[in-house]
Amino acid sequence: MGSAASSRSSGTGGPPSGSSASFARKWVFRNREVCVKRIAVLVLGFTLGLPVFAQQLEQYGAKKQAEKVQPNQYLLNQSGEKIDLIQEYYQRLLGKQSGVRETGEGISESLLPQMRAPLVLEGAVDPASYIVGPGDTFVMLWGDQLTPIPFTVTPEGLLVLPTVGAIDVSGQPLAEVKKTTALKIKSKYPVGEAVVALLTPRTFRVTVVGSAAIPGTYPASAIDRVDRVVAVLGAVKLAGMKVDTAAAAAFPGTQMLPPSATVRPPRPSLRHIRIFRMTGDTLDADLVRFYATGDRKFNPVLRDGDVIFVPVDRKDGYSVDVWGAVRLEGSYEFREGDSLTTALDIAQGVLPGADMQHVEIERVMGPDSLTTLVVNLAAVREGKAPDIPLRPNDRIYVRIDTHATATSQVSITGEVRYPGAYPIREGTTTLREVIARGGGFTSRASLADARVIRNRKHAEPALGNPDYRRLSDMRLSTMDRESREYYDYEATIRNEQVSVDFLRLFGQNDAGADVTLEDGDEIYVPEAYTNVYVFGQVNRPGYLSFSSGADVDSYIAHAGGLAEEADGSEIQVIKAGTKKWVDPRDTNIEPGDQVWVPKKTKHGFDYYWPIFRDLFAIVSATATSVLLYIQVTKK
């Protein structure tokens, strides 16, 4: 019987020994049937569970897609729109660097009122250089006259004096006219002194031609210079500016374009202006050099009938560049006769600390040939060496040792005896030394909250932009979204603070906590706190006077107690100085601490429903698979 039972129990494990071929076929068929049933159950379970899994996968994909447009959970205002600000920053940065700065062309356009009042003198008229002409008014006094008599030069250039006669004065210097007229008067009235003086300079018309924005004929006075007329007439206006109607009103009768017309003149040259005189003489005006040096010989006085020709600027391919330790770097239009000192005068001179012995001139000698001339500018200025004539497209470089001339300093603000700026030796002077020079701390100083801010100067302007620096730093990072958002948060509140423990350095006199300072460092020592700030879900949030030994509950009670929505189990203390959040049971309240009482978190149906739905789907699918498996495999 035991043998039979053993044979039955092993029926599913394999055919008994000595069985026939028929029995073996039945055993194989029965086991195959069981395998097929089990596979069918698994397929059915997978089929039923696949929609649930697909739904979960779809929800996960939708969640990740939503995260791409969600704002940073740490910085709600740090969304993708910040990229636009960075783009704008680069546009401004490239806008400053695109092309060479144009200098010497910023003549004021606010001289229109002065043309209406031509008698604004730049000083006493020089009788030796002033040329008399039709329209000049003189005042004279001779003999026993008590009242001066005015006389005006006629259009024919005559000065007609009653009982004396006509005197031809046109085109003569004022000094000569005064002398000749006085002699003529004395010949008629020998008694007394003859006084002859210029009362009012004449006005006349000049013509502006060439690349001026509004060419034409305009009034000027005998004391006006070229720059005034050129500036008022808009010779330096940018292309595309509309005609100034105020200018038309100032000069009645002048042929002007319609007020709505848009003129696009080529860029005018202010270094090659030519003045053609009625006498046949031709003068040159160099307004760039005049404004750079103040030398009036580059800005001649106008005469009757002058024609002012303003040519087109030839600076492109016909210029001189000045770079380095000069007051006004840039590219200037070249003019024949320019020299090294001319270019440096136009650039407003060299800066203090410039290397005067090694000024470099880089010169193009051919299509593929450059040469560099090294000039001792100090010797040239002193007359010990000849000036260097320049050629078109020369580039001048004036070097300076910024490290030799730079001065380093730090500033102290707050609770020290003598706040202010203090010079330092960068990388050598320590914080302890500077505080000692500042007279030490006052009795109100809070060492726990004192800090050093490092204002590092960036050689690359873009590095001064915190957004650019943040994106550049994490360009090669492999952080996930949450880590990246937290990095954004920390980078945003980053204030370049130096890690230094004032309590350890000054309170415990630990020299190992001292730090060396750099140029621009700011040392801030605030006043010690005497309050504790309680905020959040309390009835009367605000500052409370510090009470030694008082616990959190005492401060909350003084703040009116917990509000109805307060979560008393999640109260936190924000420590002064470190800003660390700690449990009230793990710390004592100190001056400057903050007590934060959060609000109870309430979740509505929308919060719990997705969790319940997903959990129910998973449980249902699992239960269905188990029940099917039991039914299929049940004998």
Dist CA 597 CA 561 (whole Å)? 10
Beta-sheet strand order (sheet of 359-366) = 330-333, 319-324, 395-398, 359-366, 369-375
DSSP category for residue 302: P
pLDDT of res. 541: 95
Q: What is the pTM of this model?
A: 0.50
Residue 288 confidence class, pLDDT cut points 50, 70, 90: confident
Residue 157 confidence class, pLDDT cut points 50, 70, 90: very high
Q: What is the mean pLDDT of residues 213-240?
A: 71
- Count of residues in the chain: 635
Q: Is the dihedral of CA 20, 25, 28, 34 positive or negative?
A: negative
Instruction: Give yes or no for residue 89 having a pLDDT over 80.
Output: no
- Alpha carbon distances (Å) from 400 to 92, 360, 368, 396: 28, 12, 29, 13
Q: Which domains does the chain have, with CATH numbers?
A: 127-200 (3.30.1950.10), 203-310 (3.10.560), 319-404 (3.10.560.10), 531-597 (3.10.560.10)
Residue 35 confidence class, pLDDT cut points 50, 70, 90: low
**Beta-carbon-side half-sphere exposure of residue 190 (alpha carbons within 13 Å):** 1
pLDDT of res. 64: 61
Which residues, in sequence order, are CB contacts of 336 under 8 Å at separation 6+?
Answer: none
Low-confidence winner among 303-307, 312-316, 487-491 (lowest mean pLDDT) = 312-316
Instruction: Give yes or no for residue 440 having a pLDDT over 80.
Output: yes
Identify whether the C-beta of residue 358 lies closer than 8 Å to the C-beta of residue 344: no
Q: Copy the structure tokens of residue 535.
A: 């905020």
Q: Kindly report, residue by residue over 170-194, the tens digit of the pLDDT.
A: 999 999 999 999 999 888 888 878 8
Which residues, in sequence order, are CB contacts of 6 under 8 Å at separation 6+?
Answer: none
Which residues, in sequence order, are CB contacts of 98 under 8 Å at separation 6+?
Answer: none
The mean pLDDT of the chain is 78
pLDDT of res. 176: 95
Low-confidence winner among 15-19, 313-317, 364-368, 377-381 (lowest mean pLDDT) = 15-19
Instruction: Give yes or no for residue 154 having a pLDDT over 60.
Output: yes
Amino acid at 536: G
Q: What is the mean pLDDT of residues 469-490?
A: 84
Q: Kindly report, residue by residue over 510-527, the tens digit of the pLDDT.
A: 999 999 999 999 999 999
In whole angstroms, what separates CA 202 from the centre of its chain?
Answer: 50
Q: Is the dihedral of CA 565, 570, 571, 577 positive or negative?
A: negative
Most confident residue range from 121-125, 147-151, 208-212, 488-492: 147-151
Q: Which of residues 269 and 591 earns the better pLDDT score?
A: 591
Q: How far apart are the first and last CA of the chain?
A: 25
Identify whether the C-beta of residue 599 lies closer than 8 Å to the C-beta of residue 537: yes
Residue 395 confidence class, pLDDT cut points 50, 70, 90: very high
